[in-house]
Structure 1
């Protein structure tokens, strides 16, 4: 990965990323996007605040709360970049709680070198992949698959030391949207870390994305995940913007 400035702005990149992690139910609220996916992940169960909701912000906050409440979900909002500050103030005024920052990193896509641990690529995640990613600890397999596979071009990478049904020791998900590769769910079992497995699965997914015409790559990482941030910095990723979630009072 080489350092260069992304050709997309914050709102456009977030809309593209939303297409790569799509909830089964989506509905526009002006320029915002309401998303519901059975409670599986923040990205699939929050309003993407990018653009003008077409109404005063306090009314938009109420509309978001009502939409999620009607679905039995805790209302949430994803607020990316400085463009969402005014909306963030409106959510805060309504008592919505703020989560930590998430960094969105980008880089020109340079296919990773084929070497090191062997990586399997599959069109769907099996239960072992879901277990290794930590997703089965938060939801059922059907709900997770409904979100994870809801894209035209998606792949699930895994490194195994034991055959199935034993879970992989490292996993990642890749999705191509337009000419962008999104890398998500990069997870390595704690006892197998610092062995280059995260690099191996990301490299395998990057080769897959390049074969499908992607020229840029994005990923998200928690601001508190210092080891992962250092790994991606060494790989040439730069910070594009940050976002955070706000959640209605429980």
Structure 2
């Protein structure tokens, strides 16, 4: 079974900051403020020095870029999590990392369009935490090796799609993100359809397994992913420095 650090580093290759820098084994990422993953230090492996000093240097790195200092702490972060807590960094919600094998699945029963880049309609259809996307989003979304953007369109562009999702493959793992279904089209199987289309494309690119991330309070998504065979691999949470 793949370990937490390796899986997190695979996921990090599919959703990247616009600027990245190693800090010991940790990975500093800045992406103009769009998304936690692209704007946090991934805390895995060895710190670059004593933990209090490492926390302070992380804080300076983000402050220098005009971003709130944030850390992503996967699994049982232990001493590292305690060091951020001791410095006054507040803890956020748990995010579940779910995995599943990628067997052959039936083709989606609605037409799904796959594109190597998101158009304006796709971007309008993706509601990040329920809000419209900020300007840096397009650059973050496309900063991966051969990303795929799936959409179900009830009307031609520029009308927003009924459902969207994004996928990228790294080391045999299809990482699915940005699954969004417009409210008026929910409970019609569209999330399942865009995921099935990405799964088929991922298998063509050599993927054997699938990974996705979901907040622990998103009960509808958790129920869907359980029906699709996903199980919890580990969790992570963020810590954010005091203002």
**Does TM, scored on the shorter chain, surpass 0.5?**
yes
Q: TM-score, normalised by structure 2?
A: 0.96
Matched, 1:103 2:78: no
CA RMSD of aligned residues (A): 1.1
CA spacing shift, 1:111–1:174, aligned 2, 3 Å? farther
Q: Which residue of 2 aligns with 1:4?
A: none
Offset, 1:94: 1.1
Quote the offset at 1:85 in angstroms: 2.2
C-alpha separation in 2, matches of 1:169 and 1:115: 15
Query: How many residues were matched structurally?
Result: 241
Which range moved further: 150-159 or 62-71? 150-159
Runs of 5+ consecutive residues of structure 1 not aligned to the other structure: 1-6
- Per the alignment, in what secondary structure is the counterpart of residue 38 of structure 2? coil
Write the deviation string for residues 93-134 of structure 1: whole angstroms up to 9, x where unpaired. 111111110000011112331132210000000111111112
Equivalent residue for 2:6?
A: 12
- 2:176 and 2:197 map into 1 onto residues whose CA distance is 11
Is the 8 Å Cα contact of residues 153 and 177 (structure 1) preserved in structure 2? Answer: no
Match status 1:139 vs 2:96: no
**Cα pair 2:108 2:194 within 8 Å, conserved:** no
Which of 59, 71, 76 is matched with 2:53 structurally?
59
Q: What is the CA deviation profile of residues 141-191 of structure 1, one whole-angstrom value per residue up to 9, with x for unaligned ones?
A: xx2121111112210000011111011010000001121100001010111
Q: Write the mapping of 1:147-186 to structure 2, written as runs, cut at 5 A.
A: 147-186=140-179
Gaps of 5+ in 2: none
* Residues 11-69 of structure 1: CA deviation (Å, up to 9, x unaligned): 00001100010112100110100000111100000000001112111111101100000
Q: CA deviation at 1:213?
A: 0.5
Q: TM-score, normalised by structure 1?
A: 0.94
**1:247, distance to aligned residue in structure 2 (A):** 0.7
